[in-house]
Amino acid sequence: MRLAPECRACLLSRVVAEAGYAGADEDTVDRVRELCTQLYDSRASEPIGASVIAGAVHRRCYEMIGSADPYSELKVQDNAVAMRVAEAVAPMLSDVHDYFVAAVIGNAMDYGVAGHEIAKDFTKYFREMFERGLAQDDTEKILALADRVVYCTDNCGEVIFDRMLCEALKRRGSHVTIVVKDQPMLNDVTMKEAEDLRLSEVCDAALHAGGGAQLGLHPDMYPPEVTDAMRNATLIISKGLANYESLTEYEGLPPVAYLMTVKCEPVARHVGAKKGDLIAVLR
């Protein structure tokens, strides 16, 4: 997926926000806004995926604010919140389809989209969204392919629900490889969080996607073990917007199930959904 006109304002608002998370002073925030705008404008016409350009802009911000992980406190907070929510809603979840819906709802724990707010009462939000269900639901087709799954995570917080879904897939007999980010990018899961949350206990292997601090997934940067897992997979499960934006730029992949809460109009247009929809689509 390529940049859309709306991406500029959205991305620049996000780098200003993350400068604030890191405690940057007003002058630094102004400088971040200026230089990140220049970088975006200089690259916006390049014929490459939106996530490549957005990732470069975020990395420039990180350099300027002197923080490799400005979302570190939010990641801990969101994982704690999600654990409490998961405990509260566990009685609602009875089969693997329910765990798919839960994982999609969890994708709302995202700081990367302007105008998207995380519900303050996430348990109430979860119950409301669970009742609504998936607007696009390919889970039956997805499960038919779930012999060897590579599960690509997105945000902290939602990873608690990813963990539950991976457990459900394992109970059905799936071989599951979980892939997280190599280095911090937004509030995405890295190996640090994977180890803290013991993700290796609910899968056959937990790996990182390589490439350092990248936004989305980039097969040309995968370590050999991830390349092998992808090559042998019968299904890739891709969580979230950035992973969608990046993987849709690649051909020759196994079937990909995109699980996400649609949070912006450009992605909504590209995937054929409405903003706010909960979707699990096979492509």
pLDDT tens for each residue of 218-231: 999 999 999 999 99
134 and 247, same domain (yes or no): yes
Average pLDDT over residues 103-132: 91
What pLDDT is recorded for position 176?
98
Task: Give percent of the chain with pLDDT exceeding 90.
Answer: 96
Q: Mean pLDDT in the chain?
A: 97
90 and 206, same domain (yes or no): yes
Long-range pairs for 121-126 at CB < 8 Å and ≥24 separation?
122/81, 122/82, 122/85, 123/84, 123/85, 123/88, 123/89, 126/85, 126/89, 126/102
39 and 108, same domain (yes or no): no
Residue 115 pLDDT greater than 90, yes or no: no
CATH at 13? 1.10.8
Residue 116 pLDDT greater than 80, yes or no: no
Note the pTM of the prediction, 2 decimals: 0.97
Which band of pLDDT confidence, cut at 50, 70 and 90, is reported for residue 199? very high
59 and 109, same domain (yes or no): no
Six token digits for residue 124? 């109430």
Average pLDDT over residues 77-103: 97
Query: Residue 114 class from Cβ within 10 Å (0-12 exposed, 13-18 middle, 19+ buried)?
Result: middle
Residue 114 pLDDT greater than 80, yes or no: no
What pLDDT is recorded for position 117?
80
Domain presence at residue 229:
yes
Which structural domain, as residue segments, surrounds residue 19?
A: 7-65
Task: Report the distance separating Cα 216 and Cα 55, nearest Å.
Answer: 8
Q: Provide the number of structural domains found in the chain.
A: 2
